[in-house]
Amino acid sequence: MEADTKNIDFTPASASDPEEEDGLSSFWRKNVSGLESVELANILRALRKVAGHMGPNVGRIEYTGMAHGSAASIIIDPEVVMGEYPAPPHKVDYLTGLVVHEALHKIEWSEKVWKTLAPDFSAMPGFSRIAFQKIIHTGEDVYVDRLADRSILGRYAARTRSRAMDEAQARLSAEKPTLEHLIHLWWASSWSPQIFERAADSYLPALKILQNLTASLESLPDRTASIIKRCQGRADLYKAAWKNLEPEVKGLSIQDKRLIWLPDSAVSVHQDEDSGAPAPSPRKGLNNALMRDIETNLAQSSADITPIIRSIVGPDNPDVAPISRWDFNMAAHPVIDRKTVGRLKAVFANYADRKKIMSRGLTGGRVDGRKLYRAPINGRCFRQTDSIPSMDWNVTLLLDATGSMRGGKWRMVENTVGAMHKALAGFQNRLGAWAYFEMDGICMMSRLLSGRNLLSVPPSGQTASGQAIIAAAYFMPKDKRRKLLIHVTDGQSNFGVDVSCGIDYCRQQNINLVTIGCGVKDRAKMEEQYGRTIQFVSHFGQLPMAMEKLLKWSFLYGDGKKLTAEARLRRLFATD
């Protein structure tokens, strides 16, 4: 028997396809980088997109040791792709196949099958229980891989399976017939039928039963669309196959006598070695700094932006609260005052940089020496120089939408945002508007502008001004335009990091931050938090005029009059 199995090639034919030597992922993965943290973040983001396209119920995908690793459903060992950047496509293919395999286990509720069979486990003796669980474990792997073969995802799963087969084969004992050897032959022959033909005679009766089980598992998804019925159907198939298989495997020994599934904890004792999932090992993995960089890169395109705040204020800052971008907005219906819009337009036009435009070949104007030859022909020998404003401001509004802003206060804020949006429309200006509020202990950041549409949110919760300032400043366009961040609030910050962290970050990024305190009762405490960056108005009715004055000051003194700028600003608001 030993001679019969030593020379068998367990590698499926599809895994050695010459056209896949360069890697399938190179055709679609274009976001690559030579920087380690950026590349690892790009790979994890790509794997999450693959799982997202497969369907719901996949869960979270994380690298080993990341912040949400305990809650993640699929854990990826980053050392598989570490060391060479950009990562080679064949390594990304392997991880893609691993995610596909594990995601299908989640989608098809493999855990439900184990729980369904839990009463049968308790009624079995030790040997039968271990052997039956090994059959179920490999049967579920065969089932999900057969599902993957119905699409292009099967080619990625084949690469992962090929490597897993090689690793499993290396662990087989060649001294005596074992249950693991039988299961490995079944697993490999499901994709390479020639292996069945060359298997030892002692394995053939059991292999025929297992091959019939494979055929039944493969046809099961076509017989029912109900996921619950498919789980029950797989459980019934395993029990029926075990009745015929038990007498055939009693003479085989078992190398690994550990149970795969325990009903009390419902977790695996060891990793899915047959699926290619990496077993626990004393590897170094990601260090803390690299892990934080990866999480920060991932946060650029995710709803949870807490890692970005931590990267700015420090990972050990205990005051950092969870913060998230929230896109479930509602349409706003502001009342826009045309006079206010006209004054704001005039402010932007009067204080903008000028650019000259020369018009030549005119019939009137100043004589153009370059066009004098046209004088006797058609008389178009004149020119005119126009100076037009270069409207390219970079303004972001940050609006307090906490519980104290309900009612007329928030409607006045909406009207002011609408007036600013109308005044800046049609030019190269970049106007951003964010509202922040707290919900269930999370600071929510919501955009209020979407193209030409003005949006709104229901005010609620506490005031996390420090973190909101950092987030709004971080997401301002990265260009050389003059940056102005206008923060409107009616009270002091009482949630998240201190306001001073946001003020310091704005100074580092050369962003002019001004806070307008509207209707503030305790101005002393607000000045203690914001210092000289805050200006007060008595009530929200003064907000449009205050915004107009603030813009004038910013355009006049925001670029460099260091000693007099703050004094002039305070003098400008003194009448309020």
Confidence of residue 331 (pLDDT cuts 50, 70, 90): confident
Give yes or no for a contact between 394 and 559, defined as CB atoms under 8 angstroms apart. no
Give domain status of residue 302, yes or no.
Answer: no
- Look at residue 540 and tell me whether its pLDDT is greater than 70: yes
User: Can you give 462-520 as a three-state secondary structure string?
Assistant: CCCHHHHHHHHHHCCCCCCCCEEEEEEECCCCCCCCCHHHHHHHHHHCCCEEEEEEECC
Q: Would you put residue 57 in left (φ > 0), alpha (ψ -120 to 50) or beta?
A: left
Same domain, 202 and 253: yes
Same domain, 361 and 453: no
Same domain, 225 and 238: yes
Last residue within a domain, chosen from 372, 388, 404:
388
416-479-399 Cα angle (round to 5): 25
- Look at residue 239 and tell me whether its pLDDT is greater than 90: yes
Give domain status of residue 345, yes or no.
Answer: no
Q: What is the mean pLDDT of residues 337-356?
A: 76
Question: Would you state the pLDDT for residue 456?
Answer: 92
- Look at residue 1 and tell me whether its pLDDT is greater than 70: no
Same domain, 163 and 263: yes
Return the SS3 of 250.
coil
Looking at the DSSP bridge assignments, the partners of residue 394 are 430, 483
- Look at residue 241 and tell me whether its pLDDT is greater than 90: yes
Has this prediction a pTM greater than 0.85? no
Give yes or no for a contact between 357 and 385, defined as CB atoms under 8 angstroms apart. yes
Last residue within a domain, chosen from 222, 251, 275:
275
Cβ contacts of residue 116 below 8 Å, gap of 6+?
Answer: 231, 232, 235
Return the SS3 of 118.
helix
Give domain status of residue 311, yes or no.
Answer: no
Output the domain CATH number for residue 485: 3.40.50.410
Give yes or no for a contact between 182 and 207, defined as CB atoms under 8 angstroms apart. yes
Per the structure, the count of domains in the chain is: 3
The residue type found at 243 is K
Same domain, 470 and 383: no
Q: 45-59, 331-345, 543-557: which has the minimum mean pLDDT?
A: 543-557
Same domain, 429 and 542: yes
DSSP-H helix ranges across 33-109: 36-54, 89-107
CA 174 to the chain's CA centroid: 47
- Look at residue 19 and tell me whether its pLDDT is greater than 50: no
- Look at residue 15 and tell me whether its pLDDT is greater than 50: no
* Residue span of the structural domain in which 164 resides: 2-275
Give domain status of residue 314, yes or no.
Answer: no
Confidence of residue 309 (pLDDT cuts 50, 70, 90): very high
Max Cα-Cα span within the chain: 113
Last residue within a domain, chosen from 223, 247, 275:
275
Give domain status of residue 338, yes or no.
Answer: no
Return the SS3 of 273.
helix
Same domain, 155 and 235: yes
Same domain, 559 and 411: yes
Same domain, 184 and 122: yes
In 318-405, which ranges are E strands?
323-325, 330-331, 353-362, 366-367, 382-390, 394-400
Give domain status of residue 329, yes or no.
Answer: no
Same domain, 445 and 377: no
Same domain, 379 and 264: no
Q: 232-241, 262-271, 357-366, 534-543: which has the minimum mean pLDDT?
A: 262-271
Same domain, 77 and 212: yes
Give domain status of residue 333, yes or no.
Answer: no
CA 325 to the chain's CA centroid: 12
Give domain status of residue 433, yes or no.
Answer: yes
